[in-house]
């Protein structure tokens, strides 16, 4: 399964964490199918965790609970979820990007995005909404440039 932003194979991070370091960095990794060489450090200050943080992110091989195809929940994707989008750390990814896209009603998001973007007299709450939609579209690979999301204010 090809992810529009991260591709279809594990991404070697260049860090050299040992298997123990990675497995012990988050309780949930003990039973996961992970790619050790993809681990990247987390910024714990930005995480939203009730009990245990994820000290490292690592590419995880998963089977989509909806279509049953294999996909990777990427370390970089996790960093984005947990540090930029503010998802709680135990929020888990159980569906592939295609199934998630369908659920999100992507067409509606795009038309909403275009409408808000054209509106030159947006209220503050409309701007917040626009930013949220832009982040989702970025996550799904519809917006390629992160700058475009960050510049919404
Ligand atoms: Zn799926």
Asked whether the beta carbons of 22 and 84 are under 8 A apart, the reply is no
Mean pLDDT of 32-39: 97
Evaluated on CA atoms 4, 86, 120, 123, the torsion sign reads positive
pLDDT at 1: 85
Ligand 1: centre distance to CA 128 (Å): 30
29 inside domain: yes
Residues 65 and 111 in one domain: no
Residues 134 and 71 in one domain: no
| Prediction pTM value | 0.80
pLDDT at 134: 92
Mean pLDDT of 124-145: 90
Mean pLDDT of 2-10: 93
Ligand 1: centre distance to CA 8 (Å): 14
Whole-angstrom Cα distance, residue 84 to residue 2? 22
Whole-angstrom Cα distance, residue 9 to residue 104? 24
Ligand 1: centre distance to CA 62 (Å): 10
pLDDT at 68: 96
Q: Is the pLDDT of residue 50 over 80?
A: no
47 inside domain: yes
Q: Is the pLDDT of residue 41 over 90?
A: yes
Residues 38 and 89 in one domain: yes
CA–CA distances in Å: residue 110 to residues 82, 129, 130, 132, 137: 23, 13, 10, 12, 8
Ligand 1: centre distance to CA 69 (Å): 6
The mean-pLDDT minimum among 2-11, 73-82, 101-110 falls in 101-110
Residues 78 and 114 in one domain: no
Domain that holds residue 131: 105-150
Q: Is the pLDDT of residue 86 over 90?
A: no
Ligand 1: centre distance to CA 149 (Å): 26
Residues 76 and 116 in one domain: no
Mean pLDDT of 62-77: 96
10 inside domain: no
Domain count, the chain: 2
Residues 81 and 133 in one domain: no
Residue 140, phi then psi, degrees to nearest 5: -90, 5
7 inside domain: no
Ligand 1: centre distance to CA 82 (Å): 21
Going by pLDDT thresholds of 50, 70 and 90, the confidence category of residue 10 is very high
Ligand 1: centre distance to CA 67 (Å): 4
């Amino acid at each position: 399964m090809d992810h529009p932003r991260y591709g279809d194979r594990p991404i070697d991070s260049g860090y050299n964490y040992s298997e123990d370091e990675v497995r012990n960095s988050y309780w949930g990794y003990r039973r996961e199918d992970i790619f050790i060489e993809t681990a990247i450090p987390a910024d714990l200050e930005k995480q939203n965790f009730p009990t245990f943080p994820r000290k490292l992110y690592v590419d995880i091989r998963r089977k989509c609970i909806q279509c049953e195809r294999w996909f990777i929940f990427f370390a970089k994707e996790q960093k984005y979820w947990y540090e930029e989008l503010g998802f709680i750390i135990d929020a888990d990814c159980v569906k592939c990007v295609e199934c998630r896209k369908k659920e999100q009603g992507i067409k509606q998001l795009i038309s909403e995005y275009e409408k808000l973007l054209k509106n030159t007299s947006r209220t503050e709450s409309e701007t917040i909404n626009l930013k949220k939609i832009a982040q989702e579209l970025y996550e799904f690979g519809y917006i390629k440039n992160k700058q475009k999301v960050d510049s919404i204010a």
